[in-house]
A and B are shown apart, each in its own frame.
Chain A
């Protein structure tokens, strides 16, 4: 009993550290990446290559005053940022970083991640509603309709994968893709589904959905700064804002993890297990893959202008959902046939 409790505390502690460090240094990566795309150096004053910038920013945010606008429901206003951070944190518990590194392998891991992702969109609603600000209100309505619209294709695509690997356990899903990059679900090479040509498209759908789920540009309609000032976190200052910010980056990491686990073979080595260190299935490959995905996230953000809310909803309801439904049907049929 005490050992299990210790395990849980340790797991949560490590998750918090991982998420915190990721959030802080992803901001740094984001800014350096932005600098790269914009022909400028990015942060460079504090520490070598500006590496001390994130802790200094964190310190600044923590020492600032948390302003609570007049007339808001304080409880709701305060609970929203926590609600943004908390589900992302919990989701890490079930993410398998490698065969052995996983805080708590749950048999319905996929389900749990989706449950907490839905809770995350709750925080946007609560923040927008609790801010007593019309911009925040519009933004939270947008954010929730966006999340609903994109959760559907995301789930359908995930179900496709679950059907192929026959498990809701994220670890099992990766296990079924071990071997080499030709075993990954992204390629239409899996024999048991008869070379389903729609798999790469499914991957794209999942990727687009995870960009939209995390409210990243070009789908950052919730915080479209030229329309809605800062959207749902307009009224938040200090660590309230900081938590939203960290929550956003934690969600990016979750999104990238999910993409990697479902389609890119998780911790598997791309050329198969050769038996000596860098070329075994280990956590390094997993981290490499998620950071590559995150780099693409950053790349997209600094390249494209923002869509509009109707463009975004059209994309989901008119294209992504029908295609992913079709793919689900096709996969189910092929599974039956082969």
Chain B
């Protein structure tokens, strides 16, 4: 659990101006209708229940800083993906990080973007391997990664102008 605390400490510098947030009660206990919009901050999740340890939500401006912290702590990038929260009119981008050593700590960075203008800085300068993941997320959700060297469709045909994983996508 050492690295988990270290990571939490390093990342909480990003949220110095926010009050330390308490872990939210689990959504399932609250019943299905009452989604409380979650604020920025770090939540320690129950690994056995969720499969990851640290759940960090942040603003898109803080992303590069946070990813740099994560990189310096020796995490590797597992994947980048999006989720379309059409009811909130938001797109969420999720970054999964994990570790090579036995100090198990899966960290999730997530940031919410307005659906109308989904723009985010690219993390390719830090994690070179983010390139394909960002291109894929661009394919599926139309999220634009500023500073990506080659943001063209990867999995979709090269002339694709649709984003199939958006919830309002009709084939």
Direct contact between A and B judged by beta carbons closer than 8 A: no
